């Protein structure tokens, strides 16, 4: 798999995760609202219940519009809606036009939706497309704002940070990427946090900070040892430890390389 294909897969997996997580979050957040809506209906009649139904329809309408945007994008890329991942068209111009059209639609949708959950999902999807277009700076700004819009304990924030870490790494700043990955990994509500610890360790290693890399790998082992071992974390730790062990003989210092 090429680096671009890997990036596409990572981005679309992140998009799938945020849609799935948004569904769980909506159910949890609005469970009380549903019960209150029923009680108010009994006490005050159909008027208040009608207002609640209008709001629910508004959410459903936003989700349906997002689905239509995605469907148009999929078709423009020459794929079918039944495919799990959108394959890259052989025609580069076709892919670029499809992405630019989808990005314009998403930006219009975000502007209309304001700070709603639907707008946040659309922002993540727009960032994915900006990555595919090579607009890493635009994607980084969008993802930074999106991560800040979520509570620090929200799993959806971890999804945004995961994609932002990838963007920063692809942009040639592995140290900043590592620190963003770490921020996402610390969100306990995010199930695959172990993968963010591994990514952080890899980025610290590329940034020439072996001690911090080992620290992140240890966190990965602590979070989910079986997954971390499958990712080859123990071998990576050994490589970084060997770097540390060589530093005194080479006239360097471990602390100097990990500031």
Contacts of residue 127, defined as CB under 8 A and 6 or more positions apart, other chains included, come to: 11, 139, 142, 143, 146, 160, 163, 167
Instruction: Supply the pLDDT for residue 249.
Output: 56
pLDDT of residue 27: 39
Sole residue written with tokens 């009649």: 45
155's enclosing H/E stretch is: helix 155-170
Mean pLDDT computed over every residue of the chain: 80
Q: Which residue has the tokens 């360097």?
A: 252
DSSP per-residue string spanning 216-255: HHHHHHHH-HHHHHHTTHHHHHHHHHHHHHHTTTTT--HH
Query: What pLDDT, on a 0 to 100 scale, did the predictor assign at position 251?
Result: 46
pLDDT for 45 equals 35
Identify the pLDDT of residue 86. Answer: 82
| DSSP summary character for residue 207 | T
DSSP 188: T
Residues 6 or more apart in contact with residue 41 via CB below 8 angstroms: 48, 49
- At residue 58, the pLDDT reads 58
**pLDDT at residue 79 in the model:** 85
Predicted model pTM: 0.72
Positions of the chain with pLDDT lower than 70, given as ranges: 1-58, 82-84, 249-259
> Which residue in the block uniquely carries the two structure tokens 């459903």?
60
Dump the DSSP string for 59-89: HHHHHHHHHHHHHHHHHHTT--TT-SSPPPP
Residue pair 89/95 in contact (Cβ under 8 Å)? The answer is: yes
- C-alpha angle 222-188-192 in degrees, rounded to nearest 5: 70
In 3D space, the residue among 178, 162, 88, 79 whose CA is nearest the CA of residue 127 turns out to be 162
């Amino acid at each position: 798999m090429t680096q671009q294909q890997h990036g596409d897969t990572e981005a679309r997996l992140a998009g799938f995760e945020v849609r799935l997580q948004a569904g769980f979050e909506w159910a949890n957040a609005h469970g009380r609202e549903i019960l209150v809506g029923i009680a108010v209906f009994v006490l005050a009649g159909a008027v208040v219940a009608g207002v609640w139904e209008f709001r629910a329809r508004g959410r459903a309408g936003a989700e349906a519009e997002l689905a239509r945007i995605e469907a148009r994008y999929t078709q423009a890329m020459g794929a079918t809606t039944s495919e799990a991942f959108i394959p890259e068209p052989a025609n580069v111009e076709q892919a670029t036009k499809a992405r630019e059209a989808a990005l314009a639609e998403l930006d219009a949708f975000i502007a209309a939706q304001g700070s709603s959950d639907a707008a946040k999902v659309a922002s993540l999807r727009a960032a994915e497309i900006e990555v595919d277009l090579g607009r890493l700076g635009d994607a980084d700004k969008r993802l930074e704002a999106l991560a800040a819009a979520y509570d620090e304990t929200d799993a959806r924030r971890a999804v945004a940070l995961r994609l932002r870490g990838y963007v920063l790494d692809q942009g040639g700043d592995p140290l900043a990427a590592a620190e963003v990955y770490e921020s996402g990994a610390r969100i306990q509500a995010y199930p695959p946090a172990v993968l963010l610890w591994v990514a952080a360790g890899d980025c610290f290693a590329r940034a020439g900070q072996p001690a911090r890399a080992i620290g992140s790998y240890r966190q990965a082992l602590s979070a989910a040892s079986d997954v971390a071992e499958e990712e080859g974390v123990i071998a990576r730790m050994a490589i970084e430890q060997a770097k540390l062990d060589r530093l005194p003989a080479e006239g360097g210092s471990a602390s100097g390389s990990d500031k």
